[in-house]
Structure 1
Amino acid sequence: MQSYQSTSGAPTTTTTTSLVTPIIWFDKEYLNSNEGLLKIVVIILSLASFIVAQFGPNNGRVGFYCFTSMSAFWISLTLFGLYAFHVVEKMYTFPWILGEFGYSIIWATFYFVASLLMLIGGGVQTVAAIFGFFACTIFGYEAKRNYIRHQNNEIAQGERNPPTINGLKTFKFCVYFIE
């Protein structure tokens, strides 16, 4: 960290550093964290809703529901793996929190629409719709959490000390690439 004091009364600035580990490793603590548990619940709900939807008749509503549930399953499973093995920490220049916010909003909307359509069919499709509404709620909660994390200028994984100006924390920083 470097501090510069100006004699003209200009603010003092402090640089920020991001702490990341250079290796990929499995983090058991991620499994017990709120983010990890939410991903696990979304993965299980998406797979269960896909399986239940397969017992209904094959039509466009079921097709859209199956697309929604299986794409949510695979994307969430991929994100879970990336976070559990700290790959996200290595690719810190990508806006992971914004990406997850967009993904959560889109799939909450998809699950809501698909679940409403499944309610039309009745029977076993109603059970799939209930699973879908639970998944929609969890995706909405994840979107809210990611929005708050983005507003607080948090990073997806790792540690970062925010810069300060005259003792006040600021949240703007620059990333320099060294070749």
Structure 2
Amino acid sequence: MAEVGFPGQHTTTTTVTSSTTVQTNIRFDPSYLKTLPGFLKAVQVVCSLLGFICILSSYFRYISKGAYYSWISMIAFWFTGILLGFYLFHIVEKFYKIPWLKIEFLFCALWTFFYLIAASLACTVHENAYSAAAFFGFVAMAAYGIDSFLKFTAVKAGGLAQGTRVVSKQTTAAVNTPPGRPEGY
């Protein structure tokens, strides 16, 4: 037996619509460097290169700590530098189906850890060039860590690396009463 005032049937419909807007033409856009991700990428590239130069200018550049730091900094320099070029020329936007944010999140998280190790090892060599490299390594580590966090939040939110995605949610409720029964009975 139904309670008084309780409808016979209740239907809720939720409609989620998503529209992605991208421009697929390749164009140079230096304003990307004024955004936080663009600034972080520039800092990462510069610190990686400066740290590498510091290690190479050292008398102890051939010890394993220097080789590890050089390896980490050069991979970071080239990967981040190429990505920066992709963003500046909107190549990332052209190929928006590639999961750029996930790739960048994984790389940034790994390189945060790798730079922590490399900069810590550089601190153990008592030479000015290694001390400077350690400084640039810790700055790069912080930049990769912040970038990793930004990429993680963007992936969780379902964002795009470049372009815009608008997601709208609309909920409607309908009450259906069985035939022959007055509403509210």
Query: What TM-score results when the alignment is normalised by the length of structure 1?
Result: 0.84
Structure 1: where are the runs of 5+ without partners?
A: 1-7, 168-179
Which of 3, 9, 24 lines up with 2:26 in the alignment? 24
2:61 maps to 1:79:
no
Q: Which runs of 4+ in 1 moved over 3 A?
A: none
Residue of structure 2 equivalent to 1:160: 165
| SS across alignment from 1:25 | coil
Residue of structure 1 equivalent to 2:35: 33
2:135 maps to 1:130:
yes
Residue of structure 2 equivalent to 1:54: 56
In 2, the alpha carbon distance for the partners of 1:166 and 1:114 equals: 52
Structure 2: where are the runs of 5+ without partners?
A: 1-9, 173-185
User: C-alpha deviations, 1:78-135, integer Å up to 9, x for none?
Assistant: 1101111111112112211111111001111111101111112111212111110111
The size of the alignment, in residue pairs, is: 161
Q: Which has the higher strand share?
A: 2
Greater Cα offset, 8-17 or 117-126: 8-17
Higher relative contact order (CA 8 A, sep 6+): 2
User: C-alpha deviations, 1:127-158, integer Å up to 9, x for none?
Assistant: 11111011111111111111111122211110
Structure showing greater radius of gyration is: 2
Q: Percent identity?
A: 32
Which of 100, 103, 121 lines up with 1:99 in the alignment? 103
Q: State the superposition RMSD in angstroms.
A: 1.7
